[in-house]
Amino acid sequence: MARRSEETLHGANDWYDFVNNSSEVIPAGAILRVSSASPHVSQGVTRPALIVDQSDEVGAQYRHAVNSLNRVPVGGYGECCFRGPCYALYDTADGTPGLGQAWGPNTNSWKLRKRIGGFVVDQISTNGQQVQLAVVRFAPWLYCYGKLDGDLAHGGSATASVWDTTGDTTFNVTVYDEDFIGSGDEIVTGARVHMNWSTLDEHWILIGSDTCPTEV
């Protein structure tokens, strides 16, 4: 059950209960991966509580949320939101997020990273302890392009390096072929590929390539 919270920006957000299923204290504004849900009793009312952990994938589509500005102990309960605008933790090693830039989660991290999709930046907070927090809104990452790090055969999968206009982002995703490549053919390592996120299959699928498939 969602609740309105006073801890909102530019209007009201819906905040949802969650349980920290990780082995770490969840920091304020952390990016959360939702894995499941279970009932819990709060103020005499039984509500569904989301089960959350660190991200296990590059970028965000529909399985990530943002923690409130409260730290949450291991096994403890917190509140998170799914749409924003809200404060989110980012990795200062990537510099300061710019207005309108896309940032997203990385594997085994609570922080947003540059050159990945999932969130768009509205503002940077420099108020006291919020120095590492950006004001972000959710913007599901549904398209990317890159280069294959291995051969991709009909009906198979391969690792692809994600690229942007400046080159290799150093982030990788797994791309699957769903009948784009003909039976008995493959697209070879190093080929430039275009990928869409499949909501039904929950993975990246090949939608195009600058290299023609070749017979295996």
Query: Could you tell me if 173 and 146 are in contact, meaning their C-beta atoms sit under 8 angstroms apart?
Result: yes
Does 187 lie in the same domain as 116?
no
pLDDT of 143 strictly over 90: yes
Does 84 lie in the same domain as 171?
no
Smallest CA-to-CA distance from 134 within 61, 31, 14, 56 is with: 31
**Tokens for 175?**
């791309």
Query: Could you tell me if 177 and 193 are in contact, meaning their C-beta atoms sit under 8 angstroms apart?
Result: no
Does 148 lie in the same domain as 133?
no
Does 130 lie in the same domain as 151?
no
Q: How confident is the model at residue 203 (pLDDT cuts 50, 70, 90)?
A: very high
Domain-ending residue, one of 112, 139, 166: 139
Question: Number of structural domains, the chain?
Answer: 2
Does 125 lie in the same domain as 48?
yes
- What CATH number is attached to the domain comprising 63? 2.40.300
Does 99 lie in the same domain as 77?
yes
Does 126 lie in the same domain as 93?
yes
Does 200 lie in the same domain as 100?
no
Other beta carbons within 10 angstroms of residue 97's beta carbon come to 25
Rounded to an integer, what is the distance from CA 196 to the centroid of its chain?
A: 15
Domain-ending residue, one of 115, 139, 163: 139
Torsion of CA 111, 112, 116, 119, to 10 degrees: 140
Does 134 lie in the same domain as 147?
no
Q: Span 68-81, mean pLDDT? A: 94
Helices (H) and strands (E) in the chain, counts: 0, 19
Does 147 lie in the same domain as 79?
no
Does 93 lie in the same domain as 75?
yes
Does 162 lie in the same domain as 185?
yes
Torsion-angle region of residue 59: left (phi > 0), alpha (psi -120 to 50) or beta?
Answer: left
- What CATH number is attached to the domain comprising 176? 2.40.50
Full residue range of the structural domain in which residue 208 is found: 143-215
| pTM of the predicted model as reported, rounded to 2 decimal places | 0.87
pLDDT of 113 strictly over 90: yes
pLDDT of 176 strictly over 60: yes
pLDDT per residue over 2-56, tens digit each?
A: 555 544 453 456 889 999 999 999 999 999 999 999 887 767 778 789 999 999 9
pLDDT score at 126:
55
Domain-ending residue, one of 139, 157, 180: 139
